[in-house]
Structure 1
Amino acid sequence: MNPNQDYTSVQPQFTFDLNKNPLFVKDQHNFINVMGVNQLNTLDNISLLDIYLSANNVIEPHYHQNAAELVYCIAGSAVVSILNPFTKQLMHFPITPGQVANVPQGWWHYEVATQNNTHLLAIFNAPTPEVILGSDLLKLTPANIMAHTYGMNETLWTQAVAPVRPNTFIGPPNPWQQVQPGNYGGGYEQ
């Protein structure tokens, strides 16, 4: 029990319909519902994302600055990829129904559905899952800083990240087409 929770001074909530709280909707087959302490005030240091994906859809690269994440596969299958910040090794963990992958707090990671109708549950050890998204890092870091820091052509960098939309959450864009080779280094455009 949360020692800071006073069940006598608030209207305690013990149930919640997760289906009525979307975090992100790409389309009818690719969406994320969210629940944390703001939706269910009796939660004690736990929150979750209810994730639905079609094959080849990606929960974009990101990290959670305030929580570890346990990814549980309910249906379908996915690969959870995690970058170990200590060894710089990118690890890939396929999961199917009943299997889990653990992502330590602050570790860069992403999930790719390998089947249609994939359903994942991401469980966090924090009252609200916080996130830093790859799309936000790419779009919000000034092009001149990226170019100067890495010795790149600023115009080419600007062109390369032009199709990226902040708060992508689920990629690729829908409808999408892959950029032809030679057009600012690959990626996707709408």
Structure 2
Amino acid sequence: MDQPLDVPELAADGGITLRPWTLSDLDLVREASEDDYIPLITTVPSPFSDSAGVPFVERQWGRATGRTGYPFVIVDSEGRPVGTVGLWLRDVGQGRASLGYWVVKSARGRGTAATALSTVAHWALHTLRIPRLELCVEPWNAASARTAERVGFQREGLLRGWQQIGSERRHMVMYALLS
């Protein structure tokens, strides 16, 4: 049987740390659950309860145990968990992996997402030697597009009706970063 993935702790610029999920991150899940968008695009439970938050954290552990990806908590320079970035390995056999990220509203606008994304992308390209990294952004989400571009991801094109979000299929813009 394959061993679980080891989600490392990664140091990022500005005192930001990326680390595995723990049950102490339930306050982060609670804040994310109050966001208008995060629960639509993730499995963050909304409304929040501890009985729903604990399985969310356990699902993050399961991604490493099941070897499907590396889920990281983004911790700011003050030690507060403020978001997540994940490296997903579904297509790693074809030489590509995907990334996703979110930061809670109270921590946005500080470049934290870009720093975290850059750190995981560098690790994936240079340590794990994954040749191609992809991420998708909804066309209206200019802040997320700026984050991807700031890290060096290049816009490749519009994927029409690509993803189910909430009750509808939505277009996504594909971004990629090559080794």
**TM-score, normalised with respect to structure 2:** 0.30
Structure with greater helix percent? 2
Task: Determine which structure has greater relative contact order: mean sequence separation of CA pairs < 8 Å that are 6+ residues apart, divided by chain length.
Answer: 1
**TM-score, normalised with respect to structure 1:** 0.29
Larger radius of gyration: 1
